[in-house]
Amino acid sequence: MDTDYIKGADYLIAVADREEVYDVCLKWFRQNKPIIHLFAGEISCWATHDDVYRHSLTLMSDYQFCINSVAKDRVEKLCKAVNKQPHAFIVGNLYLDKLDIDCSEIPNEPYDLVLYNPPTRYSKEKVIEECEEIYRVLKKGKRKYIWVSPNGDNFSDVIDKYTNEGNLPRPKYLGLLKKANKFITNSSTQYFEAPYIMQKPNIISIGVRNRTRESRYTDTSKIGTTENFVKILKVIE
């Protein structure tokens, strides 16, 4: 993978647990260049590849920025297990720093919002099975539903056959989330943005993806994440 476009950077900031982020960071790591891992120490679910990529990024990184104390503690234990010196900091949840909300896509009638991302270690048949179950429940209801396109992971094309809304800019997505009667999902949005944005939080968690994420029951509301982030960057420069 070509990383020439970032060759002049002082640090590479690796976000979370995406496969494409891991690929770039691995090449950067092999060049002995410094990495900062953002959202380190989270756990999603072993039905996905996310945790493998996330914890590998932590081990490659020089500094680890965490949402809360639970994540920070996990980072420190992981690093110490392989005799790596951790440099973990609690900065808070970056997703809560910029919550621009665009309500222009909101229907004039009550609706449920659906976002289902494929667990990457599921078979195609298992993804279809869960989608069919969601679809059956939705069709039994009398309320309008908006099922937005998934994140692009493997078998997203299968899920797209059930959706009735494409990928939206984040402000429009948050607008739909704010006014939704129910939010039916396996996305981390259910733990990060939804509890703070929805007017009347009514979140239906489905499947296994993100089911074991600790942020569902620990504090994610530390404010000023961007400022915390920048302050730490200035110290480690």
**Span 151-173, pLDDT tens digits:** 888 899 999 999 999 989 999 99
131 three-class SS = helix
Tens digit of pLDDT for each residue in 80-103? 999 999 999 999 888 788 788 999
Kindly indicate the confidence band of residue 219, based on its pLDDT and cuts at 50, 70 and 90.
Answer: low
Asked whether residue 178 carries a pLDDT value surpassing 70, the answer given is: yes
Q: What is the pLDDT of residue 7?
A: 66
Backbone angles phi, psi at 28, to 5 degrees: -60, -45
Encode burial over 44-64: b for 16+ CB neighbours within 10 A, e otherwise: bbebbbbbebbbbbbbbbbbb
Instruction: Give the integer Cα–Cα distance in Å for 28 and 126.
Output: 35
- Edge-first strand order for the sheet with 144-148 is 144-148, 111-115, 182-185, 203-205
Q: What is the pLDDT of residue 16?
A: 87
Q: What is the pLDDT of residue 164?
A: 95
Q: What is the pLDDT of residue 2?
A: 57
Instruction: Give the integer Cα–Cα distance in Å for 65 and 40.
Output: 6
Q: What is the pLDDT of residue 208?
A: 77
Instruction: Give the integer Cα–Cα distance in Å for 103 and 120.
Output: 31
Structure tokens at 143: 């309320």
Residue type, 207: G
Q: What is the pLDDT of residue 6?
A: 64
Helices and strands, counts by H and E, the chain = 8, 8
Total Cβ atoms within 10 A of residue 96: 18
The proportion of the chain whose per-residue pLDDT surpasses 90, expressed as a percent, equals: 53
Instruction: Give the integer Cα–Cα distance in Å for 234 and 222.
Output: 20
Asked whether residue 3 carries a pLDDT value surpassing 70, the answer given is: no
Element (H, E) at 111: strand 111-115
Which residue ranges form the domains of the chain, and what is each CATH number? Answer: 4-92+222-236 (3.40.50.2000), 111-216 (3.40.50)
Q: What is the pLDDT of residue 141?
A: 86
Range scoring the smallest mean pLDDT among 54-63, 131-140, 221-230: 221-230
Q: What is the pLDDT of residue 214?
A: 66
Q: What would the mean pLDDT of 184-202 be, rounded to a whole number?
A: 89
